[in-house]
Structure 1
Amino acid sequence: MSDVVGRQLRIVEALLFASAEPLRPADIAPFLEGADIPELLETLRTQYEGRGVNLVRRGDAWAFRTAEDLGFLLRREQNETRPLSRAALETLSIIAYHQPATRAEIEDVRGVATGKGTLDLLMEAGWVRMRGRRRTPGRPVTYGTTDAFLDHFGLEALSDLPGLDELKGAGLLSGRLPPDLQIPLPFDGMLHPDEDPLDASDLGDPDPDDEAE
């Protein structure tokens, strides 16, 4: 390994350790002009394999995280936040697998109404985001998951989501859901062919026009 590459790896390592949030290659690029950031990240990931701290990918971003088999060593007594309600857990699961999904589509799967507060809670947690607007009458808002969702649940990509039986076993889906419910392949691209970009007004209101659904 050349001295130049060695220094580049040290810079990437330092940036990742100093960041409170996972970093994308584009976040690192300004500090290493002309460097092959993806290759550096893969090299660093290999170097940290088997250590107490691993370099992991979360969507398009990267972060250092405690090795999964050592997580129990770092547990501390903390004031626990209020756990998510059953409605929030089901809504999060449906969005994860069916994204991009509108509120009406979520309600169709659950069979019950989904309160606006449930979606607001998931967005405040940083796990759900507004993606765009469906190209249907009323142009309802579509929802999807975030990189923070992947990070919290230890997923590298949406393709790592567990299967239907695992979800039921974990209590994330209730018996109220349709028995013939199928788990589709979630879409995690920028915009689905049937989505339009969000309007400027959407940034100030989490769900301004869902009444039209």
Structure 2
Amino acid sequence: MPEVNEDQTESLFSAPPMAEQERMIEAVLFACAEPLTLRELEARMPHGCDVAEAMVHVRRRYQGRGVHVMKIGDSYALRTAADLSYLMQKETVEVRKLSRAAIETLAIIAYHQPVTRAEIEEIRGVSVSRGTVDQLLELEWIRFGRRKMTPGRPVTFVVTEGFLDHFGLENARDLPGLKELRSAGLLESRPAFGLMPTVGDGEDEPESTEGQSELFED
């Protein structure tokens, strides 16, 4: 049996240099269309790699570049810089227009999650059809959350990482607040059916079920 010297033994059981770990992370993120967690990255890399530390260096190196490493929930992905998105406008995009009911339901879930179907209907003032929920589930923008500890143990709905990724958000706390929506002309001077009292700019305004926001125009 051939002898293994000390240097060879060390190379077999020690993690590669940090620079090499960074290259590995770049390669995996580039090859994967879906965001990956640190645990998923670690499973692909040699034993002993400090994936969290390597990720810090990779993200820092990509700051200000044409692509950057975006954190989406607990996952990471290579994405085009937002200010360069206009360069992609010639790509063929399949447009799937959401119904007014689906947009309203999605907004309620995003701002009030975890939320039950009954709570969605209470906020909207009308019933939520199964087709509306199924459409959002099919798009993988919402998913089932934990059941509430209330009579009947109703299931709740929450937004997914796919929703955050599509809208360029790290987490639900990055959703625009009332001031941002109004300044962009997406909201009238009053909030629509109490959609956003808990997220955003902290404005203490009464909820209203009167009128409709331009955000939900067909």
* Shared fold per TM-score greater than 0.5: yes
Give the letter for the 1:87 counterpart. Answer: A
Q: Which residue of 1 aligns with 2:18?
A: 5
The 5 Å alignment of 1:8-87 reads 8-30=21-43, 31-87=45-101
SS in 1 for 2:56: helix
The structure whose RCO (Cα within 8 Å, separation 6+) is larger is 1
SS in 2 for 1:108: helix
Q: Which residue of 2 aligns with 1:150?
A: 164
Work out the percentage of aligned pairs sharing the same amino acid. Answer: 49
Q: Distance in 2 between matches of 1:32 and 1:135?
A: 43
1:140 offset after TM fit, Å?
1.1
Gaps in structure 1 of 5+ consecutive residues: 187-213
SS in 1 for 2:156: strand
Distance 1:115 1:108, change over 3 A: same
Give the letter for the 1:43 counterpart. Answer: H
SS in 2 for 1:134: coil
SS in 2 for 1:106: helix
1:185 offset after TM fit, Å?
4.7
SS in 2 for 1:143: strand
Give the letter for the 1:71 counterpart. Answer: S
Conservation of the 8 A alpha-carbon contact between 2:66 and 2:80 = yes
1:182 offset after TM fit, Å?
4.6
Give the letter for the 1:158 counterpart. Answer: A
1:20 offset after TM fit, Å?
1.4
Residue 127 of structure 2 is aligned to residue 129 of structure 1: no
Alignment coverage as a number of residue pairs? 184
Q: Distance in 1 between matches of 2:26 and 2:151?
A: 48
1:156 offset after TM fit, Å?
1.0
Give the letter for the 1:63 counterpart. Answer: A
Conservation of the 8 A alpha-carbon contact between 1:110 and 1:177 = no
The 5 Å alignment of 1:89-104 reads 89-104=103-118
Give the letter for the 1:38 counterpart. Answer: A
TM-score by length of 2: 0.76
Conservation of the 8 A alpha-carbon contact between 1:90 and 1:172 = no
1:183 offset after TM fit, Å?
2.2
SS in 1 for 2:147: strand
Larger radius of gyration: 2
Give the letter for the 1:20 counterpart. Answer: A
Q: Which residue of 1 aligns with 2:122?
A: 108
TM-score by length of 1: 0.78
Conservation of the 8 A alpha-carbon contact between 1:89 and 1:172 = no
Distance 1:137 1:170, change over 3 A: farther
CA RMSD, 1 decimal: 2.5
Distance 1:171 1:110, change over 3 A: farther
Distance 1:32 1:172, change over 3 A: farther
Residue 197 of structure 2 is aligned to residue 183 of structure 1: yes
Q: Distance in 1 between matches of 2:140 and 2:101?
A: 17
